[in-house]
Structure 1
Amino acid sequence: MGKLDGRVVLITGAARGQGEQEARLFAAEGARVVVADVLDDQGEDVAKDIGGGGAGGALYVHLDVSAEDDWTAAVATAKEAFGKIDGLVNNAGILRFNELTATPLEEFRQLMDVNQVGAFLGIRAVAPEIAAAGGGTIVNTASFTGVTGMAYVGAYAATKHAIIGLTKVAALELAGKGIRVNAVCPGAIDTAMSNPARLDPGSDTEEAAEALDGLYRRLVPLGRVGRPQEVARLALFLTSEEDSAYITGQPFVIDGGWLAGVSVI
């Protein structure tokens, strides 16, 4: 018996990184998974691989989370295939590094559209379906920068603070419909978003990525970068009625202790 037997969960940004690991883990725990992304080839491959080996099943849908029409189409496709949706993981997001006063308005708005508006549209589009299914869960991917500040990621941090706010409001408004809403707040995780060398091994970005990895190792008390599989397990915990039935409206930091405080060593 899996922790998500009988569940249908839509996961955004699921073609790679944290979203891919969440999709694979959820399917292994019995869920039927909707793999949603704009990376069509990669997303199709993930869904096909899960469909062939998972305890549940999977289908891929193209979804630009900032586009309202894409959400409408994705929900319709998922319902046609699986009959319902009772879980959502708003995982899709982008990161840009820039000094706040040098950040172009276009860049700031791009992060808002994907990270912040994308989560809002996801909640608005899927929550009614979850309610119609008798209740379920929403897990939003924020960041540890959503509970603190970090230089040179001002636009990103602003969107992640907003996601935590959305999480709390949604938890209050949707509790009566049997929907729990929580947020995961990852720190440094070894994905293509935080480690560009993963996209192009051997490129000139690899040296910078190695330097960044060394910085993380010095800053993180546990001495390493996190793994996307670890974030996926936290998302599973928050999606499982067996494990987290009395938890809603909460941000869960998973950062290897980075925000615990200042070390003198």
Structure 2
Amino acid sequence: MLAIIGGTGLTQMEGLDVVSRKAVSTQWGEPSAEILTGSVGGKQVLFLARHGDPHRIPPHKVNYRANIQALKDAGASAVVAVNAVGGIHPECQPAGLMIPDQIVDYTWGREHTFFADDLDEVVHIDFSWPYDEPLRQLLLAQAERLNLKVMSQGVYGATQGPRLESAGEIQRMMRDGCDIVGMTGMPEAALAREAGLPYACIALVVNMAAGLTDEIITMTEIESALHQGMGKVLDLLNAGIRVYEG
């Protein structure tokens, strides 16, 4: 069963026929919100609002371990995450979409692993390719079928937040090869890998990153891009859910 993690602008999933809402707890604490079970086109799906419903949990305070654990316990076999991001690459314009294939982690101080304490042996995971390729290709195939313009690869730079980045930090990220910047890509992706859950990201660009235009970044700008782009995200999610087998 596919699980969807909704980010900024997606605390509820339009088109999801909700069957149940369940408040759960895990050994890592409580997830951000209730786990919703529903269906899209006859396919069962799970949904979790990353920042809570209503949107109130900042990126550095999200209990990523509990979120991933709760979805796995609920029967998830794979996860598609929706992330609002800033555009660094010139082609990453507001309201545009990317399905990234790489990630660079600039976060710190977050509980980032299930394998930290009381271990029988040290556990290392391979993270060479952080996003599951078959799941990425499923999303890209559906984007093509829907005639949605989507960047098919790119590097997600994950920053600490909740503040936006400085222009100098964005310049460093450009030198590091990052194409988009967001605050929630890690440790979510790594925890999904540790949990054995294939994981892919739909990144919605909501602003150009700091210093790349002459304008300051405003919430009005971000909300406008969310409004323009979220319909495309929902179309892609609904299409992906309908063809997912797992």
Query: TM-score when scaled to structure 1?
Result: 0.33
Structure with larger Rg: 1
Which structure features the higher share of helix residues?
Answer: 1
Which structure features the higher share of strand residues?
Answer: 2
Higher relative contact order by CA 8 Å / sep ≥ 6: 1 or 2? Answer: 2
Query: TM-score when scaled to structure 2?
Result: 0.35
